[in-house]
Amino acid sequence: MNNPVDLLHAMLSIPSPSGREDELARFLEKTMNDLGMAARRDEAGNVIGDIGSGKGPVVMFLGHLDTVDRPLPVRRDRDRLTGRGAADAKGPLAAMISAAAARPSFPGTIRVAGAVEEERLSRGGEHLARTLPPPDALLIGEPSGWSRVVLGYKGKIDIEYRVTRPATHSTNPEAKATEVAVAFWHDLLEALGPERDHGAFGHPAATLRGVHGDATEARLDIDCRIPPGFDAEALAERLRLLANGGEVTVIRHIPAARSPRSDPVVRAVTAAIRRCGGTPRPTLKTGTSDMNTVAPHWNVPVAAYGPGDGSLDHADTEHIEIAEYLKGIDVLTTTLDELAAAL
């Protein structure tokens, strides 16, 4: 499938919510082989394709196959493609495959990986980081907009709080489980500090994702987003002191990740954007990505890039402008040229 727009259209037409990526992985394995890449699947279900001379550095493009489980009809018109994953993140992955296929004589290896379950547990990215040798340069496929390069992502702490209280009449002045849970939520916000802000990369923030319970049992599911250097263990200890008889469990902790502007991959993408007629805009994201997942394992030059509007992630209006998508392919192809010279 040599037409990049046809490739993305086909990918959008294959539903791939987290945990159900097999059909898309099989399609991409065949497609990448047809494009001249040596493609395979690993034990986790990730699809990996290599291309290039093999004699030289390894540049890895890492995207993800899965989407959130909210179906969205696929539609194609002259200017845009609509469908689940158009921005997050089939658009960036399709652009990476197209760019790699356009550079078969790359002096080294271009490795394109589509990981499973990034939206849920980052299981695919974790498996890649534990089973593959570190590449010489890494680019994460996430929607940045064609003229932006992402230097870093906030980390996260997933917290569960459970509390029980004896059954009693609603008029009893003793606090009920739901009331204790609500008080804990407010205590957590105070523990994060007065400058908490979802929109600021340098400050923590929290989202109450779920509230379950009644007067005798209550549970909170909390998502904390944290900046680089945040002391997650200290926060957990403080929350346990504030638990008021409840139980605090850290379900998952993913540290923040950030590259400097001098990073070779950041510089390569920046130069490529300029060569393609854009004004580069370094960006910091307040979500997380597989950049966070692999950072503890691979100490390598890294940035994130991909065509698409990140504000459309998971939205019912998710789409990608075709001109933006094609421009992103140009930037990625030029980035490979920059890295070939730099590495």
pLDDT for 165-206, tens place per residue?
999 988 999 999 999 999 999 999 999 999 999 999 999 999
Indicate if 74 and 28 belong to the same structural domain: yes
Tell me, what's the pLDDT at 2?
A: 80
The residue type at 324: E
Indicate if 41 and 161 belong to the same structural domain: no
CATH number of the domain where residue 184 is located: 3.30.70.360
Tell me, what's the pLDDT at 270?
A: 98
Last residue of one domain, picked from the residues 231, 254, 277: 254
Distances (CA, A) of 151 to 89, 230, 253, 307: 17, 18, 20, 15
Tell me, what's the pLDDT at 121?
A: 81
Indicate if 44 and 111 belong to the same structural domain: yes
Last residue of one domain, picked from the residues 199, 225, 254: 254
Cα separation, 39 vs 302, whole angstroms: 23
Indicate if 74 and 195 belong to the same structural domain: no
Indicate if 168 and 299 belong to the same structural domain: no
Last residue of one domain, picked from the residues 205, 223, 254: 254
Q: Which domain holds residue 167?
A: 155-254
Catalytic site positions? 66, 118
Cα separation, 19 vs 121, whole angstroms: 10
Cα separation, 215 vs 209, whole angstroms: 20
Indicate if 71 and 137 belong to the same structural domain: yes
Tell me, what's the pLDDT at 343?
A: 86
- What DSSP string runs through 164-221? E-----TT-SSPPHHHHHHHHHHHHHHHH-TT--TT-TTS-EEEEEEEEE-SSEEEEE
Indicate if 298 and 177 belong to the same structural domain: no
**Number of separate domains in the chain:** 2
Q: If DSSP codes are grouped into helix, strand and coil, which group holds residue 274?
A: helix
Indicate if 16 and 129 belong to the same structural domain: yes
The pair of three-digit structure tokens given for residue 237, joined into one six-digit string: 């200890």
pTM of the model: 0.93
Residue 50: strand pairing partners: 38, 111
Indicate if 145 and 280 belong to the same structural domain: yes
Indicate if 131 and 277 belong to the same structural domain: yes
Cα separation, 17 vs 122, whole angstroms: 13
Q: With a cut of 50, which residues of the chain have pLDDT below it?
A: none
The pair of three-digit structure tokens given for residue 167, joined into one six-digit string: 């059954």
CATH number of the domain where residue 317 is located: 3.40.630.10
Query: For the chain, how far is it from start to end, CA to CA, in angstroms?
Result: 30
Indicate if 221 and 291 belong to the same structural domain: no
Indicate if 249 and 318 belong to the same structural domain: no
- Helices 90-101 and 4-12 meet at what angle, rounded to 10? 150
